[in-house]
Amino acid sequence: MEDNLFGQDWEIEPAGGETGKAFVAIHEDEKFFLKKNSSPFLAALSVENIVPKLIWTRRVENGDVITAQKWINNGQTLTAKEMREPRVARLLGKIHQSEALRDMLQRIEKKDYSCFHLLEKVTDGIGNLNPLDTKVSEAYRYLLANVDELEEGRHVVCHGDVNHNNWLLSEGNELYLVDWDGAMLADPANDLGVLLYQYVPYDEWDGWLSEYGQELTRAFYTRVKWFSICQVLMAMNWQFEHDRKPELARLEILLKKIMEDNEVYATLCE
């Protein structure tokens, strides 16, 4: 990468992450975040100030496309507690409500996933998970039993992995949502459900969703629970295939919490 894009005075270092495609380029007072083969959707996200500013995009000799983004000095990922804050809800609402982002992703990615398509993905990997925990079988049966009656919301741009490590706060208090490799068009409950169950106490759901722009109704709760289970089972299969036992154990606990959730439903039935 150095020979194609930078002179010898630049220092290129891995930036971490699971894909091995992210790097940091450093030279004196200049610093960029580099990534190989990011989606063209990154440019639209930059314009909307959802991600740090895109500086340039270049194709190198081997065919890889390298993107350079503004480096966020002293940037901090959000803590689990900070995910409860209104600014998180408002930024996710901005993303989900953006017609410009929706139109752009629809043109360039062609990833529009219905509940039936997502259920197929779960089914493909359920054989790996069934021996792990009886909750897995129970959760899969729940998806099958409820998919035909599920009333999907209008498909919007979904990030696909809104855990707290993908939220970046600059020292100027600007909030970004990064790592968009899994972006897709789908029911917004794909993002909202797991976020709510992981980070937001039940008695704060109504207020958090109000900041996001959604009323907590029984119909919406049904979507949240269904898509949460779907997302967790897909994530569990990925962790299983990559032999990541601690992460798999954490997801098993989350799945149990979702399956045993009666508190939100009971409140909505009052």
High-pLDDT (> 70) share of the chain, %: 89
Sheet (strand 11-14) strand order: 11-14, 22-27, 30-36, 65-70, 54-59
Mean pLDDT value of segment 30-35: 83
Q: Which domains are seen in the chain, by residue range?
A: 2-71 (3.30.200), 77-269 (3.90.1200.10)
Q: Does pLDDT of 3 surpass 50? A: no
Q: pTM value?
A: 0.89
| Catalytic residue set | 161
Assign 213 a pLDDT band (cuts: 50, 70, 90). Answer: very high
